[in-house]
């Protein structure tokens, strides 16, 4: 399968979503955030990035083979004089710069392999979306390895748009797989897919709550005053919180610390808590971007 997404960040199954994304950039640019079923690191998608997916059967215990599924991609790119190298566990590179990250998920005798192909992505957006400061989060989650990246399009011996690029790859895969036929989802399958989206993959519990437990700690200077936040979060829920500083009066800080416990670690929660606190000067409530800088 070949597919593209609107601007979005996709984290690996075993990652801490909070620690992998640039919250300010995501909120400001309305970037979608998703968690996939497979492992590996976080990637940025936009319409200049082409994703490919192989689903295959095989013998249990012998299903994981990244080179098997990236080799046809490499062979196809050679047609356009694009020489790639398989590096590390799951990357394709051009002159040492990453153009494809890959991940796999195994279930019984089946493997799902998918990878990215940076063709004409907005590199500045990619850089900003994944620009994070990991020192605020302490956890045992899988960490992304940041790599130098490049688009494929400047290395091609012909000029084509992303749609033609996609069509060329699909035609090649059909040619090298004798007897391959196109497949269209039927209405019942589309309904089941949408049900999965609604009940699992587009839920806060999956995207954020599935993250491993973590401790968040951060000190921020806000309007020439300080706020220090320390929180223990399990399954996306704050189980311990301590908020200190001289930005609010001590009683306000103590109230906020108490009320945060049992709540989700989300922007909406802290916005609501501050707006609902009695005896709080509404003009002193941090704006959206300030809240992000304090609590994320």
CA distance 113 to 92: 14
Tens digit of each residue's pLDDT (9 = 90 or more) over 90-146 = 999 999 999 999 999 999 999 999 999 999 999 999 999 998 887 899 999 999 988
Residues carrying CATH 3.30.930.10, the chain: 2-208
pLDDT computed for residue 133 by the predictor = 80
Rounded mean pLDDT of 192-202?
97
CB 154 within 8 A of CB 138: no
What are the tokens at 139?
């956890």
What would the CATH number be for the domain defined by 2-208? 3.30.930.10
**In angstroms, rounded to a whole number, what is the distance separating the alpha carbons of residues 236 and 121?**
31
Provide the 10 A C-beta neighbour count for residue 225: 12
At 212, the pLDDT band (50, 70, 90 cuts) reads very high
To the nearest whole percent, how much of the chain has pLDDT over 70? 100
pLDDT at 134: 76
Classify 89 as helix, strand or coil. Answer: coil
Left if phi > 0, otherwise alpha if psi is -120 to 50, otherwise beta: which for 224?
left
Domain with CATH 3.30.390.50 in the chain: 214-295
pLDDT digits (tens, 9 = 90+) for 53-81: 999 998 888 899 999 999 999 999 999 99
Q: What mean pLDDT is reported for the chain?
A: 95
Lowest mean pLDDT among 61-65, 121-125, 207-211, 241-245: 61-65
Asked if residue 250 has pLDDT above 90, the reply is: yes
pLDDT value of residue 97: 97
Burial class (CB within 10 angstroms; exposed 0-12, middle 13-18, buried 19+) of 76:
middle
Q: pLDDT per residue over 251-286, tens digit each?
A: 999 999 999 999 999 999 999 999 999 888 888 999
pLDDT, tens digit (0-9, with 9 covering 90-100), for 125-136: 999 999 888 789
CATH superfamily of 214-295: CO dehydrogenase flavoprotein, C-terminal domain (3.30.390.50)
Q: Could you tell me what percent of the chain has a pLDDT over 90? A: 91
Contact 48, 85 (CB under 8 A): no
- The tokens describing 112, both together, are 């799902």
């Amino acid at each position: 399968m070949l597919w593209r997404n609107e601007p979005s960040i996709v984290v690996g199954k075993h990652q801490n979503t909070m620690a992998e994304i640039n919250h300010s950039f995501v909120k400001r640019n309305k970037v979608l955030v998703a968690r996939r079923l497979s492992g590996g690191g976080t990637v940025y998608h936009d319409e200049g990035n082409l994703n490919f997916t192989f689903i295959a059967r095989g013998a249990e215990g012998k299903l994981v083979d990244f080179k098997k599924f990236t080799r046809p991609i490499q062979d196809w790119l050679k047609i356009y004089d694009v020489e790639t190298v398989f590096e590390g566990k799951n990357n394709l590179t051009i002159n040492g710069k990453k153009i494809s990250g890959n991940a796999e998920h195994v279930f019984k005798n089946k493997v799902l392999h998918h990878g990215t192909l940076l063709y004409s992505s907005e590199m500045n957006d990619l850089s900003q979306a994944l620009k994070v400061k990991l020192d605020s989060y302490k956890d045992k989650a899988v960490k992304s390895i940041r790599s130098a990246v490049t688009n494929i399009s400047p290395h091609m011996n012909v000029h084509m748009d992303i749609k033609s690029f996609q069509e060329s790859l699909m035609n090649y895969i059909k040619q090298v797989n004798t007897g391959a036929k196109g497949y269209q989802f039927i209405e019942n399958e589309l309904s089941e897919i949408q049900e999965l989206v609604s009940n699992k993959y587009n839920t806060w519990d999956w995207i954020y709550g599935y993250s491993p437990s973590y401790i968040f700690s951060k000190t921020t200077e806000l309007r020439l005053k300080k706020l220090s936040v320390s929180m223990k979060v399990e399954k996306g829920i704050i189980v311990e919180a301590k908020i200190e500083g001289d930005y609010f009066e001590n009683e306000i800080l103590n109230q906020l610390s108490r009320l945060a416990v049992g709540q989700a670690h989300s922007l909406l929660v802290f916005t609501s808590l501050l707006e609902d606190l009695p005896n709080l000067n509404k003009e002193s409530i941090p704006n959206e971007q300030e809240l992000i800088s304090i609590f994320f």
